[in-house]
């Protein structure tokens, strides 16, 4: 078996490591405990890498990683991943954007409360100095204070909601959201940064980029209230660190709660010498709950991308992601999975891939086509294909790429259909997304069906005569294969189609036995 190598470069929860270790077609390498210069040696064999903020995915790393197809940043911030460098090399970069949200939100509240009640002083006096002087430490309440939230995304908006629970007066600044995202939650919204600078407490939750580095510096702090409290659980350098130190020393800033530093690890940072800070060593994501979830998602996403099935939360899409509405994103993943499935059961030389997007989805058919090509070519080409090079490889192989769209989609809000033409005929598959993210295959070669595109499956076309289900069950049972779901669709002309979801892989012997059944017309095995 040709195994893909997944290298884990940083510490992730054992739940994800177990998944990698127990996946047959994956060669798993644990490299979290080795020196980063030695990592460059190991990374050369990686097809996929999993990293956290402790591994810089920079020029050196990428130059060493000559086999790399995909990288999973096991967390939110990807400011230490050279996204352009990945794109240039055809490497798909992904993050895990929401699994540590609550952990970071709660650490922010912890710093806020700790700053207001002067925990570092109170803690040190009693624990280290063994002095009981309650009169020394009068803190302040969150109740009634004005909180400025910069960045109203996954973390920022939840911090705002929790602050409302403390009956704070919360105002949000985020020029990239509609004001209603805040006001619908009962939170004030401003586009005037000075409104934030006038708050009692300010907390920042933006990504780190050219626009946000030093967003709060000497000039901004000058405009703040004397005795302001600043919290940073996002990224070091969003508040200028020199300005922080100077203004904490002068008392202009009463207290700061800091989880992140411009350069990490930060064990001799001047902020650590000040009494009026609460500090943690980039622990925002460090809850057992969040690390388990991130690790499991990272491992599953790494396996899917190693197999070329899907690239969840890809950061360097060949399309301008800001122009892709959120309802389209699950269709991108569904299209790639369905194409992968269809190509597995087509089993002959592919001549054309047609994608038909119906409903509002029609406007995005070109992007869907790219992902259909990735799905198909990952089965048929034997090459390392991703969305950066998929259409190029398809054209080189003489495969026609066709797109169609229409606004009407027969009862579904949106629908995508893939048609593959091979030397032996034509196969089609259609799918839709229910709600925000429930992906479903709804049609196979004209047979109405309802299956999740996931797992191991046998697709059987058979004569619609009595006893077929029992015979299929017997054969699978005799081989110790458990059926997890059996979906049947009756077509015209006495033909039926069954999609049988199974727990174990079906060998060629099993397929041959199914083919020998009198009712059997065509049998295929596929895995997503």
Ligand X SMILES: O=C(O)[C@H](O)COP(=O)(O)O
Q: Which of ligand NAD, ligand X, none has residue 453 at its interface (CB below 5 to 8 Å by kind)?
A: none
Q: Which of ligand X, ligand NAD, none has residue 150 at its interface (CB below 5 to 8 Å by kind)?
A: ligand NAD
Least distance to ligand X from the beta carbon of 294, Å?
A: 7
Q: Which is nearer to ligand NAD, 203 or 370 (CB)?
A: 203
Q: Which is nearer to ligand NAD, 106 or 360 (CB)?
A: 106
Binding of residue 451 to ligand X (CB under 6 A): no
In this structure, the number of other CB atoms found within 10 A of the CB of residue 412 comes to 17
The Cα 71–Cα 425 span in angstroms is 37
Least distance to ligand NAD from the beta carbon of 176, Å?
A: 3
Rounded-to-10 torsion of CA 170, 171, 172, 177: 110
Least distance to ligand NAD from the beta carbon of 105, Å?
A: 9
Q: Give the neighbor-by-neighbor strand order of the sheet with 447-451.
A: 400-406, 350-359, 414-422, 425-434, 438-444, 447-451
3-state secondary structure string across 437-453: CEEEEEEECCEEEEECC
Least distance to ligand X from the beta carbon of 75, Å?
A: 3
Beta bridge partners of 4: 26
Work out whether the CA dihedral 67, 71, 74, 75 comes out positive or negative: positive
Determine which residue in the list 236, 284, 375, 453 makes contact with ligand X, applying CB under 6 A: 284
Binding of residue 380 to ligand X (CB under 6 A): no
Q: Which of ligand X, ligand NAD, none has residue 211 at its interface (CB below 5 to 8 Å by kind)?
A: ligand NAD
The Cα 43–Cα 6 span in angstroms is 9
Active-site annotation holds for 235: yes
The Cα 195–Cα 224 span in angstroms is 10
Binding of residue 297 to ligand X (CB under 6 A): no
Q: Which of ligand X, ligand NAD, none has residue 52 at its interface (CB below 5 to 8 Å by kind)?
A: ligand X
Q: How many CA atoms lie within 13 A of 60 on its CB side?
A: 10
Q: Which is nearer to ligand X, 54 or 520 (CB)?
A: 54
The Cα 395–Cα 350 span in angstroms is 12
Q: Which of 213, 216, 212 is nearest to 201 (CA)?
A: 216
Residue nearest to ligand NAD (CB): 153
Radius of gyration of the chain from its Cα atoms, rounded to whole angstroms: 27
Which of 235, 269, 307, 461 is catalytic? The answer is 235
Binding of residue 258 to ligand X (CB under 6 A): no
For residues 53 to 82, the per-residue mask of contacts with ligand X, x marking binding by CB under 6 A and - elsewhere, is xx-------------------xxxx-----
Q: Which of 133, 83, 75, 84 is nearest to 104 (CA)?
A: 75
Q: Which is nearer to ligand NAD, 77 or 431 (CB)?
A: 77
Determine which residue in the list 13, 52, 158, 329 makes contact with ligand X, applying CB under 6 A: 52
Q: Which is nearer to ligand NAD, 5 or 101 (CB)?
A: 101
Which of 52, 111, 282, 461 is catalytic? The answer is 282
Q: Which is nearer to ligand NAD, 76 or 310 (CB)?
A: 76
Active-site annotation holds for 59: no
Q: Which residues lie below 8 Å from residue 70, measured CB to CB, with a gap of 6+?
A: 47, 48, 49, 91, 92, 93, 94, 302, 305, 306, 311, 386
Size of the site for ligand X (CB under 6 A): 11
- Ranges of H-type helices in 78-171: 83-88, 101-116, 119-123, 154-165
Q: Which is nearer to ligand NAD, 315 or 476 (CB)?
A: 315
- Ranges of H-type helices in 119-202: 119-123, 154-165, 179-183, 193-197
Active-site annotation holds for 117: no
Three-point CA angle 525, 401, 410, nearest 5° = 75
Q: Which is nearer to ligand NAD, 154 or 520 (CB)?
A: 154
The Cα 148–Cα 200 span in angstroms is 8
Determine which residue in the list 4, 100, 378, 462 makes contact with ligand X, applying CB under 6 A: 100
Distances (CA, A) of 279 to 125, 275, 283, 435, 497: 17, 10, 10, 42, 61
Which of 264, 440, 487, 527 is catalytic? The answer is 264
Q: Which of ligand X, ligand NAD, none has residue 101 at its interface (CB below 5 to 8 Å by kind)?
A: ligand NAD
| Interface positions with ligand NAD (CB under 6 A) | 76-77, 100-101, 104, 150-156, 173-177, 205-208, 211-212, 233-235, 259-260, 282, 284-285
Binding of residue 156 to ligand X (CB under 6 A): no
Tokens representing 288? 């057992």
Residues that bind ligand X (CB under 6 A): 52-54, 74-77, 100, 282, 284-285
Residues involved in catalysis: 235, 264, 282
């Amino acid at each position: 078996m040709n195994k893909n190598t997944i290298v884990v470069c940083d510490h992730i929860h054992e739940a994800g490591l177990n998944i990698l270790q127990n996946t047959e077609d994956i060669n798993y390498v644990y490299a979290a405990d080795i020196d980063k210069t030695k990592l460059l040696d190991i990374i050369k064999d990686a097809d996929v890498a999993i990293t956290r903020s402790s591994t810089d995915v920079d020029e050196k790393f990428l130059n060493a990683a000559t086999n790399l197809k995909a990288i999973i940043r096991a967390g939110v911030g990807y400011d230490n991943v050279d996204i352009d460098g990945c794109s240039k090399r055809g490497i798909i970069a992904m993050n895990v954007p929401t699994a540590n949200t609550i952990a970071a939100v709660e650490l922010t509240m912890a710093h806020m409360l700790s700053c207001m009640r002067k925990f570092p002083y109170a803690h040190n006096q009693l624990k280290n100095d063994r002095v009981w002087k309650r009169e020394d430490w009068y803190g302040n309440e969150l109740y009634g204070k004005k909180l400025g939230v910069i960045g109203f995304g996954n973390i920022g908006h939840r911090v705002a909601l929790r602050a409302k629970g403390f009956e704070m007066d919360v105002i949000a600044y985020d020029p990239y959201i509609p004001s209603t995202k805040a006001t619908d939650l009962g939170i004030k919204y401003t586009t005037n940064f000075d409104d934030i600078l006038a708050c009692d407490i300010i907390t920042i939750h933006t990504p780190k980029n050219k626009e946000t580095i030093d967003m709060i510096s000497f000039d901004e702090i000058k405009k703040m209230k004397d005795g302001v409290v600043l919290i940073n659980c996002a990224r070091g350098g969003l508040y200028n660190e020199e300005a922080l130190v100077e203004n904490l020393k002068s008392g202009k800033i009463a207290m700061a709660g800091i989880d992140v530093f411009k350069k990490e690890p930060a064990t001799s940072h001047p902020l650590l010498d000040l009494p009026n800070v609460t500090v943690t060593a980039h622990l925002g994501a460090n809850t057992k709950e969040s690390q388990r979830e991130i690790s499991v998602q990272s491992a599953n996403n790494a396996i899917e991308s190693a197999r070329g099935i899907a690239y969840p939360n890809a950061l360097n899409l060949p399309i301008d992601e800001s122009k892709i509405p959120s309802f389209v994103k699950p269709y991108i993943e569904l299209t790639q999975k369905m194409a992968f499935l269809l190509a597995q059961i087509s089993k002959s030389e592919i001549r054309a891939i047609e994608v038909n997007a119906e409903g509002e989805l029609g406007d995005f058919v070109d992007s869907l086509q790219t992902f259909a090509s990735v799905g198909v070519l990952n089965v048929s080409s034997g090459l390392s294909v991703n969305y950066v090079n998929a259409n190029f490889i398809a054209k080189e192989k003489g495969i026609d790429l066709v797109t169609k769209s229409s606004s009407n989609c027969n009862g579904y809000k949106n629908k995508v259909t893939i048609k593959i033409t091979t030397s032996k005929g034509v196969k089609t598959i259609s799918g839709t997304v229910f709600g925000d993210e429930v992906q479903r295959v709804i049609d196979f070669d004209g047979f109405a069906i309802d299956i999740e595109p996931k797992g191991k499956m046998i697709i059987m076309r058979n004569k619609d005569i009595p006893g077929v289900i029992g015979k299929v069950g017997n054969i699978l049972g005799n081989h110790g294969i458990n059926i997890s779901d059996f979906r049947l669709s009756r077509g015209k002309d006495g033909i039926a189609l069954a999609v049988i979801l199974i727990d174990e892989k079906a060998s060629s012997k099993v397929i041959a036995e199914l083919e020998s059944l009198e009712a059997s017309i065509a049998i295929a095995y596929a895995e997503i």
